[in-house]
């Protein structure tokens, strides 16, 4: 992705495709080049002329031009975020951390519209962590993407140092340290589930390749676009140079939903519910684990004596919550999904509280629960807060839990066979169980 080169003469009309960024480390290395510091001084104006420059410090009028094919494929800084900042000087007083690059696909969509403002506000990474947002949209959504960037400008977030927008993942994902893959096609009327797996799988295969080519070697990837577990598997298979462990499928929304229902039933506030695992697929086969979850530190089954409710009503309510919500809203959950993405990220960048854990869909190789290898399955994890995680070992299973987990596992193995052409594992064969659906499919 290109942002303007930092030179001693910050105002220039020359656009260079060097990748100078506002990393504090780079700034100190090249401090001689920055001997003339202008706080929030203007960045060079890109020659690619497909953006309106709004709110720019020098009020440079944007040249109007026809968007060329080449320009369309570029990812460019947006408006006020094309200005240079004197991070070095600010660091002396503020001790900012090194700028973190966060790429978001589906950035013009509803989920992103909630999430981006959380990321920019410091809610996820903390008040001393400057953020660069790299927003991936499509040709169709490009104007909306500009609208999103304009709203980010107008929000004056002190931590938001760069915003760039583009439609080419090979540009947008460059040096990404986090990739939040939200954009996916919703299942249309009459579309077979196998068709959805194929269409979205192709998107995630391409994005996996792009991450493999240009992202940070330790990029953390959270796949949100459905069917997210199998999309995450496709993505990681297409990114062999990135550790498979770094790929997640979002099941935190399901965890949050489960906590909410247990708290309601027990008559406690949701912060009293802990150790909540969602096992398996983000689909109606997912298993909200009430055997290991706790309320006020006690096993759920000791607090909620109505075990029939736990096995039937509670489980189904969590599994189908997304669908009920679609019926009410006329569209998928957006705000609560964004909150859960932020929660999932926070769980990886802050140490997990003693004795607790969180759920995330991760690659199963080496899991201690006997779950099939080589799929992406939601399991209980803990983190030291370094972006990494480990699977929790002390988990109890009973027959009910094992049986439910096996059903979700079978579904994911079937999904995997269905996308073999996208994971490099041969010819696809689709024998998906008919009675399982995405949470939104009722
Ligand atoms: C949700 O759980 O709310 C969504 O994944 C539902 C859907 O199918 O979009």
Q: How far is CA 383 from CA 18, 232, 278, 295, in A?
A: 36, 20, 17, 21
pLDDT level of residue 196 (50, 70, 90 thresholds): confident
In 154-306, which ranges are E strands? 160-166, 178-181, 220-223, 247-249, 273-274, 277-279, 287-289, 294-295, 298-299
pLDDT level of residue 83 (50, 70, 90 thresholds): confident
Residue whose Cα lies nearest atom 8 of ligand 1: it is 440
d(CA 247, CA 140): 28
- Count, residues in the chain: 442
Pocket of ligand 1 contains residue 130 by CB under 6 Å: no
Work out the average pLDDT over 195-220.
96
- The residues annotated with a catalytic role in the active site are 282
Residue whose Cα lies nearest atom 3 of ligand 1: it is 322
In contact, 259 and 412? CB cutoff 8 Å: no
361: phi then psi, degrees, rounded to nearest 5: -80, 115
332 C-alpha to ligand 1 centroid (Å) = 6
Q: What is the pLDDT of residues 393-435, one digit of tens each?
A: 999 999 999 999 999 999 999 999 999 999 999 899 888 876 5
Closest CA to 56 of 85, 87, 81, 22: 81
Pocket of ligand 1 contains residue 80 by CB under 6 Å: no
Pocket of ligand 1 contains residue 286 by CB under 6 Å: no
378 C-alpha to ligand 1 centroid (Å) = 16
Q: What is the pLDDT of residues 158-191, one digit of tens each?
A: 999 999 999 999 999 999 999 999 999 987 766 7
**CA dihedral sign of residues 246, 249, 253, 259:** negative
Work out the average pLDDT over 62-88.
66
Residues of 263-288 as b/e, b for ≥16 C-beta within 10 angstroms?
bebbeeeeebbbbbbbbbbbbbbbbb
Pocket of ligand 1 contains residue 253 by CB under 6 Å: yes
Residue whose Cα lies nearest atom 7 of ligand 1: it is 440
Q: Give me the pLDDT at residue 145, please.
A: 97
Residue whose Cα lies nearest atom 2 of ligand 1: it is 322
Q: What is the pLDDT of residues 296-344, one digit of tens each?
A: 999 999 999 999 999 999 999 999 999 899 889 888 899 999 999 999 9
Q: Give me the pLDDT at residue 442, please.
A: 57
Q: Give me the pLDDT at residue 6, please.
A: 26
Q: Does the structure show a pLDDT above 80 at 13? A: no
In contact, 146 and 137? CB cutoff 8 Å: no
In contact, 84 and 304? CB cutoff 8 Å: no
106 C-alpha to ligand 1 centroid (Å) = 15
124 C-alpha to ligand 1 centroid (Å) = 22
CA-angle at 381, arms to 422 and 228, nearest 5°: 30
166: phi then psi, degrees, rounded to nearest 5: -175, 175
Mean pLDDT estimate for the chain: 84
Ligand 1 pocket mutation pick from 325, 439, 441 by most atoms within 8 angstroms of CB: 439
Pocket of ligand 1 contains residue 332 by CB under 6 Å: yes
331 C-alpha to ligand 1 centroid (Å) = 9
d(CA 177, CA 198): 27
DSSP state of 45: P
- Maximum Cα–Cα distance across the chain: 72
């Amino acid at each position: 992705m290109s942002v303007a080169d930092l030179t001693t003469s910050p105002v220039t009309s020359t656009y260079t495709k060097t990748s100078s960024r506002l990393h504090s480390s780079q700034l100190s290395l090249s401090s001689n080049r920055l001997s003339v510091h202008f706080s929030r001084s203007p960045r060079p104006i890109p020659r690619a002329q497909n953006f309106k420059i709004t709110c720019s410090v020098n009020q440079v009028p944007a040249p109007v031009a026809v968007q060329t094919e080449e320009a369309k494929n570029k990812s460019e800084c947006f408006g006020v975020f094309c200005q240079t900042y004197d991070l070095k000087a600010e660091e002396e007083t503020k001790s900012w951390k090194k700028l973190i690059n966060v790429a978001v696909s589906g950035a013009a969509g509803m989920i992103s519209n909630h999430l981006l403002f959380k990321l920019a506000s410091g809610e996820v990474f903390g008040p001393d962590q400057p953020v660069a947002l790299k927003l991936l949209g499509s040709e169709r959504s490009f104007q909306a993407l500009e609208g999103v960037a304009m709203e980010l400008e107008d929000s004056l977030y002190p931590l938001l140092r760069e915003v760039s927008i583009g439609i080419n993942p090979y540009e947008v994902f460059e040096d990404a340290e986090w990739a939040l893959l939200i954009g996916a096609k919703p299942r249309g009327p009459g579309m077979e589930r196998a068709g959805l797996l194929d269409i979205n799988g192709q998107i995630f295969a391409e994005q996996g390749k792009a991450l493999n080519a240009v992202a940070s070697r330790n990029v953390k990837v959270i796949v949100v676009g459905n069917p997210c577990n199998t999309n995450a598997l496709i993505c990681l298979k297409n990114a062999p140079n990135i550790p498979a462990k770094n790929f997640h499928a979002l099941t935190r929304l399901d965890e949050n939903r489960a906590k909410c229902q247990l708290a309601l039933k027990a008559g406690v506030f949701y912060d009293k519910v802990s150790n909540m695992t969602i096992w398996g697929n983000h689909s109606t086969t997912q298993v909200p684990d009430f055997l290991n979850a706790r309320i006020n530190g006690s096993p759920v089954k000791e607090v909620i004596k109505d075990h029939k409710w736990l096995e039937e009503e509670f489980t189904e309510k969590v599994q189908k919550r997304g669908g009920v919500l679609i019926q009410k809203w006329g569209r998928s959950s957006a705000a609560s999904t964004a909150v859960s993405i932020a929660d999932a990220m926070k769980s990886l960048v802050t140490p997990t509280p003693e004795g607790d854990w969180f759920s995330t869909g991760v690659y199963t190789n080496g899991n201690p629960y006997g779950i099939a290898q080589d799929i992406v399955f939601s399991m209980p994890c803990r983190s030291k807060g370094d972006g990494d995680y480990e699977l929790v070992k002390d988990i109890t299973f009973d027959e009910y839990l094992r049986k439910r987990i096996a059903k979700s596992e079978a579904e994911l193995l079937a999904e995997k066979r269905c996308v073999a052409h996208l994971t490099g594992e041969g010819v696809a064969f689709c024998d998906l169980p008919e009675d399982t659906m995405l949470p939104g499919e009722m």
